[in-house]
Amino acid sequence: MSTKGGQDLYSSVRSNDSMMSRSMQGGPHMSGVGIFFQQEPDGKVYVKTIVSGGSAERDGRVRVGDVICGVDGRDVIGEPVSVLRSLLLGQEGGYVVLTFARAVEGGVEMETDAAGGTVIAKFDVELMRGSPEYLARLDASRRYEGELMDLRQQLKQALAEEKEIAEEVERVKRVLQLERGASARREKEIEDIRSAHQRETQALTEACRRAEQVRRDAVGRLMPVQTREGDMTEELARMKEKDRLRKEYVDELRKRHEEESGRLEAQLAKEQRSRREEQSARQEVERELAKSRAELKRESEHLRIISEQDRMHRDRTEMARRKFKELIDAMETVFGMGKEVEESAVALQNDFLGARVSLPREPLGESIAANNQQGEGRKDQNFFIA
């Protein structure tokens, strides 16, 4: 069923799978599908061995003992092994359709052999040409592309959150502008608060502009770096933790802003009521002065109480201004954290791109040329590897 030379080559292949995978290649960038074929004396070529990690093993449909009948629709029964080898070998990454015959009890496409006994089932298998190393590199490349898509999605989410923060800042600015319009009706003390608030709003706008400029400069100065996959995973975990902390801080900041706005509105209403009460008290004092000088001492005490209330009002106003300034400082801290998150995300993306570009291209095995020379010197042997 097989020649002595074919048996010796089969034994050597069984003892060294890596040599078999390299023998799948017939020249520079020429590869087979990971099957060791052997020809019988009657001219039939059958599957002797399936290379570990090759295209045929990955597909799983081809079995040892299957007889090859066609290549890309061409009937190869009775063809010499040299013709079959030339049809199977091709460019790495290309596909070839092989037709096999297998003895079964039933199948879709059936025919009976010449003796009229065995039932043969024919089936087609489309396999990719390439060595096990090439297929492994192809799988790794696909995995890296999936990880890159995940990093891009995370970057988009970070940018969307940054946009939400910018919109929140704009909303705060609009609220502050409305407050400045309402403060025009206040008296001298409230006017001082409005002026200070306007300066702080301008400082916030300038800080936002500087933060945006710093972000653009950072994006323009980014340089590609190389790092290990473990470092990329740790950096991604740190970025997620910072993002979580930033969200919590923004929520706390929004809550503080709402509370502070409500407190300021309550203080303003209280102030207005106090002013109205003060005016009523002064009018009452003027009427009472005409009635009795004996009540002068009581009215003087009343005026002292009003002065004390004014002083307390000024103290509360100063306290509100300090709290508002703390709120502005906290918002600047949020912008700084957002910039750090963006820099980390862009650095991770460049790290990954650099790691992908630096993937080594493994050279072809030097044993390929030697195997080809031995094959040319043994044209009378009836075996080959594709």
Asked if residue 233 belongs to a domain, the reply is: no
Give the C-alpha separation, 39 to 46, whole Å. 6
97: Cβ–Cβ under 8 A, 6 or more apart, which residues?
71, 72, 73, 124, 125, 126
pLDDT in tens, 181-223: 766 677 778 788 878 888 888 888 888 888 888 888 877 777 6
**Across the strands, what pairs with 46?**
38, 67
Examine the pLDDT at 14 and tell me if it is beyond 50. Answer: no
pLDDT for the residue numbered 183 = 64
- Reported as a single tens digit per residue, the pLDDT across 338-353 is 888 888 888 887 887 7
Given a contact cutoff of 8 angstroms between Cβ atoms, the answer to whether 94 and 128 are in contact is yes
Is 50 inside any structural domain? yes
Two tokens, residue 307: 């002065």
Cα distances from 340 to residues 95, 205, 253, in angstroms, run 47, 20, 19
| Mean pLDDT of all residues in 117-129 | 81
Residue 352 lies in a domain: no
Q: In this predicted model, what pLDDT tens digit does every residue of 245-293 receive, in sequence order?
A: 988 988 888 888 888 888 888 888 888 888 888 888 888 878 877 787 7
Return the SS3 of 356.
helix
Buried b (16+ CB within 10 A) or exposed e, 63-102: eeebbbbbbeeeebeebebeebbebbbbebeeebebbbbb
Domain of 58, in residue numbers: 30-107+115-130
Residue 171 placed within a domain: no
Q: How far apart are CA 370 and CA 167, in angstroms?
A: 69
User: 317-334: per-residue pLDDT in tens?
Assistant: 888 888 888 888 888 888
For the CA atoms of 134, 139, 145, 148, the dihedral, rounded to the nearest 10 degrees, stands at -110
136-152 per-position pLDDT tens digit:
888 888 888 878 888 88
Residue 21's pLDDT band, with cuts at 50, 70 and 90, is very low
Could you tell me the CATH number of the domain that includes residue 103? Answer: 2.30.42.10
- Domains contained in the chain, number: 1
* DSSP run (H or E) holding 277: helix 229-291
Q: What is the pLDDT of residue 66?
A: 92
Q: What is the pLDDT of residue 232?
A: 82
Q: Which residues contact 331 (CB under 8 A, 6 or more apart)?
A: 169, 172, 204, 253
What is the end-to-end Cα distance of the chain in Å, rounded?
Answer: 20
Residue 70 reports pLDDT greater than 90 = yes
Output the pTM of the full model.
0.35
* pLDDT band of 61, cuts 50, 70, 90: very high
* Closest C-alpha to 88, from 136, 132, 40, 128: 128
**26-56 burial, b for 16+ CB within 10 Å, e for fewer?**
beeebbbbbbbbbbeeeeebbbbbbbebbbb
Q: How confident is the model at residue 111 (pLDDT cuts 50, 70, 90)?
A: low
369 in a structural domain:
no
Query: In this structure, is residue 74 part of a structural domain?
Result: yes
In the chain, % of residues over pLDDT 70: 78
